[in-house]
Amino acid sequence: MLLTGHQRIALEAMANAIRQSIIEMLVSAGSGHTAGPLGMADVFAVLYFHTLRHDPNNPAWEGRDRLILSNGHICPVLYATMAHAGYFPTAELNTLRKFGSRLQGHPHREFLPALETSSGPLGEGLSQAVGMAIADAMDKKAGERRIYCLMSDGELEEGQTWEAGMLAGKWALHNLVALIDRNNIQIDGFTENVMPLEPLADKWRAWKWHVLEVDGHNVAAIAAAFDEAKSVYEKPTMIIAHTIPGKGVAEFERDFHWHGKPPDAEQGEMALRELRATAQQISSEPE
Amino acid sequence: MLNAALRLNSHLFDDDVEQIAIRTGFGDGLVRAGEASPLVVVLSGDLTESAQALAFKKKFPDRFVELGVAEQNMASVASGMAAMGKIPFITSYAMFSPGRNWEQVRTTIAYNDRAVKIAGSHAGVSVGPDGGTHQAIEDIAITRVIPRMMVICPCDAIEARKATEAAVWTGTPVYLRLARNKTPVMTTDDTPFEIGRAQAVWTSAAPKAGLVATGALVHKALLAAKALLDDGVDVEVLNLSTIKPLDEESLIDLAKRTGRIVTIEEHQIRGGMGSAVAECLARHFPVPMEFIGVDDRFGQSGTPEQLIEYYGMGRDAIMVAVHRVLER
């Protein structure tokens, strides 16, 4: 179902608000990852405010869709989105990475039970998502709820990802939708220099996945891709979302040095000024 | 003498004592577990027959998942299935699961608080001819260090069956340590079993040393105890099939009554069951200890009996260790 102009603007505004929260959290925490969370804000906005069947007031609802964040290090975007969706107060976001916080440096469901999995070590999320999808297939519940898995491109270098990909193809898990944050960076540099992943789409097609490629900052295209996945009944779907690391803050964009460090107070203020200006533009867009 | 209250196999000292592989008992227990709970599912990594998942697969084909040679994936897929309410058993050789996939077990199962049961067959040097690559003698160390993980090393096929059935209901991750080869059956259907409860299989009114054994080597410990009695040395033998949670009460009581402890396991001495016992006694009731196990070496090819003797884990080696601890 195509987004209306009003829905598109609302999702863009939400992605902008999520980005602002990410900057505030990271400045307050004094450590953490900047580029990945900013790059995935549009995907998270679409998922939590358009695609997912979920109830923030009842996180344990059995019928909810499951969202697995495999690359746990981008959790600032997960936490910020969950707070904006109503899972917990946005005021709690500035406890990120601090002692006693529910918002652990990498997600831990023992601290925040609304999380589906604890994650951080790379390459493990897809396997867990596949396990969930198989369990539902066994129970004939594959049509009742869907399993979503978000992954980074760098973590595809973990061989376990391919083990999981093969298994999902073998089982033809149409209740499974995975999305790769194709931002082309990882800690040591650009992915194609560190370890070439291309031809990426062909690899997933070879494992019997339905593969889509989208602009990861076009909320209408992201929403359409998730909608298309719902209509694929014979395969799992892989969405390769082309994103710009650090998206929304010109100085952070496309620079792998921002993978694993936070902005300081001054950089944070600069980033927030830019994001607030963007928010003004979004609100004045024609529907 | 044998503890009559445990209703042990009265033929266990006979030369022709019945021998069944501990892993076979696991396979039987798996079918019973499947009958007891519809939530039980079994995952296999291309070792369905030898890791003893075949009977379950035949009886419950819709609750069986073949993953191919991919133990890391297997651990995390099981975590996901547990998240949806299943009670998964992952089956492979101990070297690969929890060996190869240790970090997946640690993070996606234990850290995630998912009650997956890890059945590791072919533990110990008694794997035999396959050689050192396939002889897991580090697995107790790497599992007992993981929070929430229970570690059970059954002494025979019957105890393995009971442990498998009991593992279904713990609500925690469990590591079941299983051996490949046929070994003497010491217990009977009537022998009580409870996770976390050590059992004195050989008792004495005035024991001079306590032998704490786990796995099939409990039988070697019993052979040693019987021979020692003939030499006029009274000992007590404890079957410590649950290594974690540790039955500290029974261990401290044994140390207090004997003042001397010998631990016996088919595993590296460093980090294994003996280390767990030492950690407990050092804190609560320190006594001289000797450790029977593999002394910082890898395994090799040979018959199980040759390897048990070569690495110093047979009856005579246990008797020597008892005399050594008595002299201290």
Q: What share of chain A is helix, strand, coil (3-state, %, to 5)?
A: 50, 10, 40
Q: Minimal Cα distance from B106: which residue of A?
A: A121
Cα–Cα distances (Å) from A81 to A85, A86, A236, B187, in that order, read 6, 9, 25, 57
Count of structural domains, chain A: 1
Residues 6+ apart with CB under 8 A from A234: A172, A174
CATH of the domain at A253: 3.40.50.970
Nearest-CB residue to A160 (from B72, B79, B111): B72
Residue contact A66–B79, C-beta within 8 A: no
Q: Minimal Cα distance from B100: which residue of A?
A: A160
Token pair 């077990």 is at which residue?
B105
B305 catalytic residue (yes or no): no
Residue contact B62–A136, C-beta within 8 A: no
The two tokens of residue A270 are 């600069």
Q: What pLDDT, on a 0 to 100 scale, did the predictor assign at position A286?
A: 83
Cα–Cα distances (Å) from B206 to B132, B153, B198, B254, in that order, read 41, 28, 19, 11
Mean of all residue pLDDT scores within chain A: 96
Rounded Cα distance between A252 and A26, Å, is 14
Chain A residues within an 8 Å CB radius of B86? 135, 138
Residue contact B81–A132, C-beta within 8 A: yes
Rounded Cα distance between A70 and B245, Å, is 31
Q: What pLDDT, on a 0 to 100 scale, did the predictor assign at position A2?
A: 83
The two tokens of residue B70 are 């991919």
Q: How confident is the model at residue A277 (pLDDT cuts 50, 70, 90)?
A: very high
Q: Minimal Cα distance from B72: which residue of A?
A: A160
**DSSP helix/strand/coil, A90:** helix
What is the per-residue pLDDT across A31-50, written as a single tens digit (0 to 9) for each?
999 999 999 999 999 999 99
- Within 13 Å and on the Cβ side, how many CA atoms surround B221? 32
Question: What's the gap in Å between the CA of A117 and the closest CA on chain B?
Answer: 6
Q: Do the beta carbons of residue B88 and residue B42 sit within 8 Å? A: yes
Complex prediction ipTM: 0.96
Q: What pLDDT, on a 0 to 100 scale, did the predictor assign at position A287?
A: 79
Cis geometry, peptide bond prior to residue A199 (ω within 30 degrees of 0):
yes
Nearest-CB residue to B107 (from A124, A135, A167): A124
Chain B residues within an 8 Å CB radius of A117? 79, 83, 108, 112
Q: Minimal Cα distance from B62: which residue of A?
A: A138
What phi and psi, each to the nearest 5 degrees, are found at residue A33?
-105, 135
Interhelix angle B217-230/B315-327, nearest 10 degrees: 60
Q: What pLDDT, on a 0 to 100 scale, did the predictor assign at position A285?
A: 85
Residues 6+ apart with CB under 8 A from B250: B197, B198, B200, B238
Rounded Cα distance between B220 and B218, Å, is 5
The distance of Cα B75 from the centroid of its chain, to the nearest Å, equals 20
Amino acid at site B199: Q
Rounded Cα distance between A9 and B312, Å, is 74
Decide if pLDDT at A87 tops 80.
yes
Token pair 């066994």 is at which residue?
A138
Token pair 């109503």 is at which residue?
A86
Chain A residues within an 8 Å CB radius of B107? 118-121, 124
- The mean pLDDT value for A23-27 works out to 97
**Length of chain A, in residues:** 287
Cα–Cα distances (Å) from A212 to A206, A252, B12, in that order, read 14, 27, 65
What is the per-residue pLDDT across B31-41, written as a single tens digit (0 to 9) for each?
999 999 999 99
Decide if pLDDT at A110 tops 70.
yes
The two tokens of residue B182 are 């046929």
The number of beta carbons lying within 10 Å of the beta carbon of residue B315 is: 20
Cα–Cα distances (Å) from A120 to A25, A103, A109, A117, B250, in that order, read 18, 13, 12, 10, 40
- The mean pLDDT value for A140-147 works out to 94
Rounded Cα distance between B29 and B163, Å, is 8
Tell me which residues of chain B have a pLDDT lower than 50.
none
Q: What share of chain B is helix, strand, coil (3-state, %, to 5)?
A: 40, 20, 40
What phi and psi, each to the nearest 5 degrees, are found at residue B246?
-80, 135
Tally C-beta pairs within 8 A across A and B: 95
Residue contact B80–A163, C-beta within 8 A: no
Rounded Cα distance between B80 and B224, Å, is 46
Q: Of B49, B71, B249, B290, which residue is the catalytic one?
A: B71
Residue contact B111–A118, C-beta within 8 A: yes
Chain A residues within an 8 Å CB radius of B67? 163, 167
Decide if pLDDT at A1 tops 70.
no
Residues 6+ apart with CB under 8 A from A32: A25, A26, A76, A96, A97, A105, A262
Chain A residues within an 8 Å CB radius of B84? 131-132, 135-136, 139
Rounded Cα distance between B20 and B157, Å, is 6
The number of beta carbons lying within 10 Å of the beta carbon of residue B317 is: 17
Q: Which residue in A67, A127, A132, A176 has the most chain B C-beta atoms within 10 A of its own C-beta, making it the best mutation to test that interface?
A: A127
Rounded Cα distance between B75 and B90, Å, is 7
Q: Do the beta carbons of residue B141 and residue B271 sit within 8 Å? A: yes
What is the per-residue pLDDT across A186-221, written as a single tens digit (0 to 9) for each?
999 999 999 999 999 999 999 999 999 999 999 999
CATH class as words, domain B19-184: alpha beta
- The mean pLDDT value for A138-163 works out to 96
Chain B residues within an 8 Å CB radius of A108? 111
Residues of A with CB under 8 A from a CB of B: 66, 68, 108-110, 116-121, 124, 127-136, 138-139, 159-160, 163-164, 166-167
Residue contact A118–B86, C-beta within 8 A: no
DSSP string, B47-70: -TTTTT-HHHHHH-GGGEEE--S-
Chain A residues within an 8 Å CB radius of B82? 131
Residue contact A163–B72, C-beta within 8 A: yes
Chain A residues within an 8 Å CB radius of B85? 135
Nearest-CB residue to B108 (from A124, A136, A159): A124
Question: What's the gap in Å between the CA of B57 and the closest CA on chain A?
Answer: 14
Residue contact B77–A110, C-beta within 8 A: no
Question: What's the gap in Å between the CA of A26 and the closest CA on chain B?
Answer: 25
- A32's enclosing H/E stretch is none
Q: Where in chain B is the domain with CATH 3.40.50.920?
A: 4-11+193-327
Interhelix angle A265-283/A5-29, nearest 10 degrees: 170
Rounded Cα distance between A55 and B223, Å, is 63
Residue contact B112–A160, C-beta within 8 A: no
Q: Is A148 exposed, middle or buried (0-12, 13-18, 19+ CB in 10 A)?
A: buried
Enclosing domain of residue A244: 5-283
Which CATH fold would you assign to the domain B4-11+193-327?
A: Rossmann fold (3.40.50)
DSSP string, B258-274: HS-EEEEEEEESTTSHH
Nearest-CB residue to B77 (from A109, A118, A130): A130
- The mean pLDDT value for A69-73 works out to 97
